[in-house]
Amino acid sequence: MAAPAKRVEQLDRVVIRFAGDSGDGMQLTGDRFTSETAQLGNDISTLPNFPAEIRAPAGTLPGVSSFQVHFADYDILTPGDSPNVLVAMNPAALKANLADLPAGADIIVNTDEFTKRNLAKVGWTASPLEDGSLGEYALHPVALTSMTIGALAELGVAKKDAERAKNMFALGLLSWMYSRPFESTIRFLERKFAKRPDLVAANKAAFQAGWNFGETTEDFSVRYEVKPAKMLPGTYRNITGNAALALGLVAAGVRAKLPVFLGAYPITPASDILHELSKHKRFGITTMQAEDEIAAIGAALGASYGGALGVTTTSGPGVALKGETISLAIALELPLVIVDVQRAGPSTGLPTKTEQADLNMALYGRHGEAPLAVIAPRSPSDCFHAAIEAARIALKYRTPVILLSDNYVANGSEPWLLPEVNDLPDISVEYTTEPNGEDGRFLPYLRDPETLARPWAIPGTPGLEHRIGGLEKADKTGDISYDPANHEFMVRIRAERIESIPVPDVEIEDPDENARVLVLGWGSTYGPIGAACRALRQRGLPIAQAHLRHLSPLPANLGEVLEAYDKVVIPEMNLGQLAHVIRAKYLVDAVPFNQISGLPFTAATLENMLEDVVKNG
């Protein structure tokens, strides 16, 4: 007699966290679940979280790797605050994540790993699976490892390879639980292990075993469904911030009608931009993995001098090393895009954790008066458009531009509506081809009266020979000049060129137009701030939100916006760097709210803080 069909329950949102040892494949498992979910049309936001060590000691707390995915049938802004489901592959994964779980959350644990030795590694003398300490949760003990080995026994797979497939068993179980399509995962496994048919068979069998376990076990009596979210019509793909930024640079080259040159030295968390760009040579992309950070930016600046869109990618430590060449680019007044995927510092700091603490370095971290443009994307998909905007400013105004991403944005993912290429801005520029002086001479620092940009003369163009280098240039002629008046003029005109770049006005989200508190953010705080403000408005508390993409120059209407509110609150993942800028420039008593834990804000944290500000002033 066939078992009765299991009840299917509709949910509007779910947060799942996969956690295990850094060798358990949690990032791969989370990525595959996210891809399956994207196919169903849910809105998605993810948060990978992994150790900096290549392989921390197995079974220890420092070695725990996790991947959180939030999916819903409506527009969401964050990866979620608290998981509804935790998949814990060992005691360390359970202990590291237990404090984040709300009462009633489902915990799926791999009981095979709850040995005395593994319990001792995390300081437990008794198993929490047996001592009643997990009574407030819905506990699902599953012998993941032994069941996977049993499922693969007939395939003749080595025990070590069979054990490694336990993450696919877990993925199969969760895919069944939440009614995810699995065809793309099967195709992925066939591609990934194409040279090892035995591993293709093993992983497919483990996935199917997990699916079948969910279907037949009495421990899971309910399946869940999350309907597709209502989105604008078009073609979507799931994309990470680093991938979106790389594609944005490709699109910038196409729309500028210029070759793109990337000079990069591998550094966490920016390396994936180099990896992605290296796949797109057919679009005129040249990538060079340099021997160090200084060589990388030197090559990129040289490419700009030669007529390409020069780009270099790095993180905070690399920006410090590139500082002298950035200053040279400012003196030469050449286009250059510097991508800083921020991580927690100082020094090596927390290489795989997130922070927004490079703003001061981006704005001021050079010798002399050396202003440049700074912009920051607010989400993974926004990295695409921010990259195009950075290229546009660099090319039109002949300036270095620092693009401040961060680890949260770079490795997180969300659905991205693919734009039409012809709808992207035309950012093409024209090289100077003829002398521009009244006497037939070429004046390399004769400026465009609208943009204050100097001519872009490509080496080898007849009649346009000119001097370059770091010594101060004479106005118009570009000759070396030690004249005090000329130096002051050049310093001021370079600053004016940046300050006069027109950028879009900052937009205010204040639905009822009666808020007295404004929350001002930049970069990746957009999602948590937006989710917190949305929750407060749903409870009848008026609050306004504004978010900055352009940090240098700042929007022209920002001062007027700030003056319209009684209180301005600025949440940042640093010790108040934007708040200091706002206070100094606009004489506004901005209230900083800071977190430097290496993790993004939760919406609940901001909601509680902002509720107090709204109610108590």
Q: What is the pLDDT of residues 45-92, one digit of tens each?
A: 999 999 988 778 889 999 999 999 999 999 999 999 999 999 999 999
β-pair partners for 13: 72
Dist CA 280 CA 264 (whole Å): 16
**To which residue do tokens 């707390």 refer?**
61
CATH topology of domain 508-616: Rossmann fold (3.40.50)
- Tell me, rounded to whole angstroms, the distance of Cα 146 from its chain centroid: 37
- Residue among 231, 191, 219, 158 at smallest CA distance from 6: 219
pTM comes to 0.95
Q: How big is the CA angle at 318 (ends 349 and 375), to the nearest 5 degrees? A: 100
425-456 confidence digits (pLDDT tens): 999 999 999 999 989 999 999 999 999 999 99
3-state secondary structure at position 108: strand
127 by DSSP, 3-state: which?
Answer: coil
Q: What's the first-to-final CA gap in the chain, in angstroms?
A: 66
For 92, list phi and psi in degrees, rounded to 5.
Answer: -60, -40
In degrees, rounded to 5, the angle at the alpha carbon of residue 85 between the alpha carbons of residues 83 and 89 is: 110
Kindly give the parts of the chain with pLDDT less than 50: 1-2
| Cα→Cα distances 439→49, 352, 442, 443, Å | 63, 57, 9, 10
Domain 7-224 sits in CATH at 3.40.920.10
Place of tokens 């500082």: 323
Q: In the Cβ-directed half-sphere of 51, how many Cα atoms lie within 13 Å?
A: 22
Return the residue matching tokens 């009633």. Answer: 104
Rounded to an integer, what distance in angstroms lies between the CA atom of residue 594 and that of residue 597?
Answer: 10
Reply yes or no on domain 238-423 having CATH 3.50.50.60: no
Parts of the chain belonging to CATH 3.40.50.920: 508-616
Place of tokens 């494949």: 25
* Domain(s) of CATH 3.40.50.970: residues in the chain: 238-423
Alpha carbons 314 and 54: distance in angstroms, whole number: 19
Length of the chain: 617
The CATH 3.40.920.10 portion of the chain extends over 7-224
